[in-house]
Structure 1
Amino acid sequence: MRTPPNERVSSDIAEMPHSRQADKASGSERRCILCGETLPRTDLVRLAISPEGQVLPDPGAKAPGRGAWIAPDRAALEAAMADGHLKRALMRSFKGGPAKDDGGRISLSYSDELPQQIEMALTRHFTDRLGLELRAGNIVMGSSRIEEQARQARLGLLLHASDSSADGRKKLDQAWRVGAEIEGSGQRGRVLPLDRDTLSVALGRENVVHLGVSGRPEDLEGSNQARAAVRVAQAATRLSRFMSGTDAAHDRPVSDEAHAVPSGAGGDDKIDT
């Protein structure tokens, strides 16, 4: 299937609203075409249609023209594909769109691999975001530096690779709780659905097992560093929700809508950079 030029996930990702209240005020809510629920667009995944009628993921919401929005839930999407609900919902959403056959009827199609296409697009969207924040100086790497920054309450978000070890996570999580003055809360960093190799490639570093994002929740309105934590959290949450269908809240949220990412498997992280 040919991918239209406008479907490439752009690294020029716009800043997103910080809360449901901001989304409502700015009109940035959309309705999921599958479940009918209205949610902030930062919680949803946009599908766009090419002039040829191909439906493809547009997680950055950059593609021109009409779009359709779905909740990031792979199991629900696959069920909707199997029973024809997705096809019907897309036909309604793109009614009046550019994809018409010779008889003037809507002509659209999507690959059986659409769930995998969405997962890949969300992964790239997240790793692109990490790259942007790294260039902006908002990413902290290396266990020692992360621990130092965490104890000084200078991290808005703490992330772990899916193959990080429980001991490595525990040490940094404790430092984060100390800095945030929430000892005994049990809150902890987010375990991403991506392993250290994926994170290392995304950030151009070797063996990235843990990383922090600069900023403090109380500075959200006045600090670009703090907003960086929100942007990364939103991208990570959509990816994790789509891959796992869950959203376990383990960490100290950086805003009302910066949901936690589910925990992953343990691994050896004795070496870190």
Structure 2
Amino acid sequence: MTRGGREKLRDEPERKCIASGEVSPKAGLIRFVIGPEAMVVPDVAAKLPGRGLYVAADRALIARAVAKGLFARAARQPVKAPPDLAEMVEALVARRVLDLLSMARKAGDAVTGYEKVKEWLEKGQARVLIQAADGSERGKTKLRAPEGENTLISCLTAGEIGLAFGRERAIHAALAAGGLTTRVVEEAARLAGLRASASETGQRDGGNPAGKDTKDA
């Protein structure tokens, strides 16, 4: 198991984290490049030109790389890294998770709402269960994730899940098998790593808990 909760696959390309020194699959790392004016730029989609510098999807490690000047050391040149770089990366990865989840919804591969999610789980249609980090524990125990690895996503808030489904808040969601689901799981694993050492989820979502679990939430 790698940082961020991803299972290491034998043939995945690997890179070394400049903060920890560990070698891990690229999919579980955050890529950075040196942009204009020698600024460190997060490249969460791994598409920007230039030499990549990699840090594990871990908030504390990104903060360490900034504080100790590890980007400059790895790039072998003076660079500027924003002090809030870890927060920037978290926001970018969260946006990717929500965009992919929204795409899965539009493709008919994702549903929300207690009854719909329960039906998908009972029929074996659900590959992944998504439950809001700030949802009531009592409500979340009513549904069980499918058997297997990487079948539960619990790093999103109710507000974030709701945003992906075009509603104010949502506590439960499910994903069917498919290419988009694999990408959602991978990005969610990175987000979980970035949020593992952050403040409690309720503080990130304006301090409002998801509230009472309901059948249409």
- Return the TM-score normalized by structure 1: 0.66
Q: CA deviation at 1:75?
A: 1.4
Alignment of 1:82-97 (within 5 A): 82-89=67-74, 91-92=75-76
For residues 89 and 10 of structure 2, the distance between their equivalents in structure 1, rounded to whole angstroms, comes to: 27
CA contact (8 A) 2:30 2:43 kept: yes
Q: CA deviation at 1:167?
A: 2.0
Q: CA deviation at 1:158?
A: 0.3
Match of 1:137 in 2: 108
Does residue 268 (structure 1) correspond to residue 212 (structure 2)? The answer is: yes
Match of 2:132 in 1: 161
CA contact (8 A) 1:125 1:235 kept: yes
Match of 2:166 in 1: 204
Alignment of 1:15-164 (within 5 A): 20-23=9-12, 28-89=13-74, 91-92=75-76, 106-164=77-135
Secondary structure (helix, strand or coil) at the match of 2:44 reads: coil
For residues 88 and 271 of structure 1, the distance between their equivalents in structure 2, rounded to whole angstroms, comes to: 53
Q: Which amino acid aligns with 2:63?
A: E
Q: CA deviation at 1:47?
A: 0.7
Q: CA deviation at 1:19?
A: 5.5
Does residue 229 (structure 1) correspond to residue 181 (structure 2)? The answer is: yes
| Inter-CA distance 108–81: structure 2 relative to 1 (3 Å threshold) | closer
Secondary structure (helix, strand or coil) at the match of 1:80 reads: helix
Greater Rg, structure 1 or structure 2?
1
Q: Which amino acid aligns with 1:210?
A: H
Per-residue CA deviation, residues 23-63 of structure 1 (Å, 9 max, x unaligned), is: 1xxxx222212222221111101112213321111111121
Q: Which amino acid aligns with 2:167?
A: R
Match of 1:190 among 149, 153, 157: 153
Percent of residue pairs bearing the same amino acid type? 31
Greater relative contact order (Cα < 8 A, sep 6+): 2
Per-residue CA deviation, residues 217-264 of structure 1 (Å, 9 max, x unaligned), is: xxxxxxxx2x33321111111011011159xxxxxxxxxxxxxxxxxx
Alignment length (residue pairs): 200
Secondary structure (helix, strand or coil) at the match of 1:69 reads: strand
Per-residue CA deviation, residues 158-195 of structure 1 (Å, 9 max, x unaligned), is: 0111111112211111xx45xx5x9xxxx983322x32
Q: CA deviation at 1:87?
A: 3.1
| Inter-CA distance 79–107: structure 2 relative to 1 (3 Å threshold) | closer
CA contact (8 A) 2:66 2:82 kept: no
| Inter-CA distance 34–19: structure 2 relative to 1 (3 Å threshold) | closer
Unaligned runs of 5+ in 1: 1-17, 93-105, 216-224, 247-264
Q: CA deviation at 1:207?
A: 2.5
For residues 210 and 141 of structure 2, the distance between their equivalents in structure 1, rounded to whole angstroms, comes to: 11
